[in-house]
Amino acid sequence: MLKSLLTGLLLTAGILTLRAGEFPGELSRFNALLDRSWKKHKVTPAPVIGDGAFYRRLSLRVLGKLPEAAALKKFMADRSPGKRAALIDTFLDSPEFAQVMAMRYADMFRIKSEFPINLWPNAVQCYHRYFYLLTLEDRSWRKTAEELLVSNGSNFRVPAANFFRANADRTPRGLAAGTALALMNFRTDSMSKENQKLFEAFFSRIRFKSTKEWKEEIVYNDPAGVILQCRTPDGKRFTVNTAEKDPRRVFADYLCDEDNPILYRAYVNRAWYWMTGTGLANPVDDMALVRGYWAKLWNAPRPNDPADEEIMEFLTDYFKRNNCSTKSLYRLILNSRAWQADWRCKGDLARHEKYLAVFPVRRLESEIINDALSALTGSYDRFVSVIPEPFTFIPPGSSAVSLADGSMSTGTLDKFGRSPRDSGKISERNNNSTGAQRLHLMNSGVLFNRITRLPGMVFRGRMNWNQQLDLAYLTILSRYPSPEERLAARRYYDKLHPKVRWKFFQELFWALINTSEFSYHH
């Protein structure tokens, strides 16, 4: 009775959201675990962010776009206690979230039509759609991993068959390395040569053959009977008669076993990275030395242990118990105290980041910056591929986030560090700020010409100067101007000659776009 009453109160307060398969109180337990970790490591967590900052952060991370000023104002004026949880649910169920996640999976699984992957546009569209539907329909990650590992057939018609096809190196060594990186967050070069050979044996019977369709390939398992000696990275050995069983199936059964945490920990670490910009353990996709990851196989120093093993174990267990629902995992992360923490803290910032006590400040991904500028100005880039194949002419007004093909890019996307999708490593995407990026935002004549149209697009109807200033800040930075900013803006405006005051808001929009506040997750 008491437990039911407590659950009801938490739901009313917006602290919990109940969905099929989720357990009441999971979020409370996770927040309590975070609190214990902060006390144990003697860090004071940053305060919870305000509604405006929450909406902006959620919109950029989940939808890949800036919030609209009208929706933001409505959310900030709403006094409903459960509005944050409700907004999270709405965003997670949206096609935009599926599009953003498809972009992240495309980096991870090397979706690219040209060199060195050479999937070609038909397979690119097929494979990209597969990951879009994975999120939109909330398919089980366990079942997805199994499907990727064992699928046969045309890479134009069987999306999962591209898992092995989308490797620059399609020898057993290359296929083993690609599998370990994508599904296990593991680099095979950390293994001995002998153990590498035994691991590669799982993938030694994969074959590819062409069809009469240009560039189409069939992925299949060689049915000829041989006896293989195989070994997983954590030391488990298998003898496989390939006449009786596909060695990929043997590996899939091992990796997707509920008692084997490797697949689930690897995804949880990536999920945390995608939502925050940093992993629970870092480097995110090189977890060979993480404590417990390989069942204590490794005796070497562990420089990249998770900040708190209990937190990773809790999330891994939660993920498995909820049938490997990725939306369920993201829902827990986004509702958590750690994700909704401010980006400012008292004390050592690096230490606070390590123990998840502050939200990491990271630059927006290249596609999101590109789309934000396009949506603001109403002027979208054109994306065209040089390959004479279907799907190479993208409809006008398409977003960069929605691009399936890693071969399609622009100078702006390249300048802001878009992943080339050659290896599948997270490090391929460069989110560091550079002088070239700053010069582009400050000096690009094309961009400034687009920005000059902003006041006419944003200001509609009768508005006084203060209302216009508020709307400018809400549109670009998702907040109202501070009293100091309002005073400085007014002083500058009053100093302008009356004949040129019409330029004030053009210059203000340009100045706000050039702030770090605009181009960073925070």
- The predicted-structure confidence for 106-125, as pLDDT tens digits, reads as follows 999 999 999 999 999 899 99
pLDDT in tens, 184-240: 999 998 888 999 999 999 999 999 999 998 889 999 999 999 999 999 988 899 999
List beta partners, residue 520: 363
Is residue 305 situated within a structural domain?
no
Per-residue pLDDT band for 175 (boundaries 50, 70, 90) equals very high
Is residue 381 situated within a structural domain?
no
Is residue 398 situated within a structural domain?
no
- Structural Rg of the chain based on CA atoms: 25
Indicate if the pLDDT at residue 155 is higher than 90.
yes
Burial class (CB in 10 A: 0-12, 13-18, 19+), 207: middle
- Which range (21-35, 79-93, 370-384) has the least confidence? 21-35
Alpha helices in 279-337 (DSSP H): 309-321, 326-335
What percent of the chain shows pLDDT beyond 70? 90
In angstroms, rounded to a whole number, what is the distance separating the alpha carbons of residues 212 and 284? 41
Indicate if the pLDDT at residue 23 is higher than 90.
no
Is residue 156 situated within a structural domain?
yes
Indicate if the pLDDT at residue 291 is higher than 80.
no
| pTM for this entry | 0.92
Over residues 95-113, mean pLDDT: 97
pLDDT in tens, 418-463: 999 999 999 999 999 999 999 999 988 888 888 888 998 999 889 9
Is residue 354 situated within a structural domain?
no
Cβ-based neighbour number of residue 393 at 10 Å:
10
Residue showing tokens 């603001």: 376
Considering the chain, what is the average pLDDT of its residues?
90
What are the structure tokens assigned to 269, written together? 């670490």
b/e 471-499 (16+ beta carbons within 10 angstroms → b): bbbbbbbbbbbeeeeeeebeeeeeeeeee
List beta partners, residue 228: 240
**424 near 109, Cβ under 8 Å?**
yes
Indicate if the pLDDT at residue 4 is higher than 60.
no
Indicate if the pLDDT at residue 297 is higher than 50.
no
Angle at 300 between CA 295 and CA 305, to 5 degrees: 65
What local confidence, expressed as pLDDT, does residue 20 receive? 37
pLDDT in tens, 351-366: 999 999 999 999 999 9
Is residue 213 situated within a structural domain?
yes
What local confidence, expressed as pLDDT, does residue 13 receive? 36
Structurally, the chain folds into a number of domains equal to 1
Per-residue pLDDT band for 512 (boundaries 50, 70, 90) equals very high
Q: What is the dihedral of CA 32, 34, 37, 42, to 10 degrees?
A: -100
How many residues in total does the chain contain? 522
> How distant, in Å, are the alpha carbons of 6, 85, 216, 353, 363 from that of 9?
5, 14, 57, 31, 38
Per-residue pLDDT band for 307 (boundaries 50, 70, 90) equals low
What local confidence, expressed as pLDDT, does residue 7 receive? 37
Strands 237-241 and 227-231: antiparallel
Is residue 244 situated within a structural domain?
yes
Indicate if the pLDDT at residue 151 is higher than 80.
yes
Is residue 178 situated within a structural domain?
yes
Look up the domain containing 180 and give its range. 140-255
